[in-house]
Amino acid sequence: MILRSLLYFVMAGLCEIGGGYLVWQWVREGKSSWLALGGAILLTAYGFVATLQPANFGRAYAAYGGIFIILSIIWGWKIDKVIPDRMDWLGAAIALAGVLVIMYAPRTPIQ
């Protein structure tokens, strides 16, 4: 179940980051408006993929923020050729620790 949840996070992240990147290319780089359409489609897909998470909305979106951080660093590295430094990776590790606690740590109800 954890691997499936992580896969949903990655799929959602790629849709959101990819969609945002395509819109960025259209607005900031003057590329084709077809990129904006593709971006809009990916951003819509992101909204649907995120609903596949087994957690409630607030928890899933809070944890997703950490995954988004990690994927954004990797996207910048691989697509924009901006090499992450140690502090980027430290921040990503802290974010990942937060994801793991928020989503997958055992729960005991507060009384």
Give 93-105 pLDDT, tens digit per residue. Answer: 999 999 999 999 9
Q: Is the pLDDT of residue 111 over 80?
A: no
CA 25, CA 66: separation in Å to the nearest integer? Answer: 24
pLDDT digits (tens, 9 = 90+) for 36-85: 999 999 999 999 999 999 988 999 999 999 999 999 999 999 999 999 99
| Neighbour tally for 45: CB within 10 Å | 17
Residue 92 confidence (pLDDT) above 80: yes
* CA pseudo-torsion sign 77, 82, 84, 88: negative
Return the pLDDT at 97. Answer: 96
For residue 106, give the 3-state DSSP assignment.
coil
What pLDDT is attached to residue 82? 97
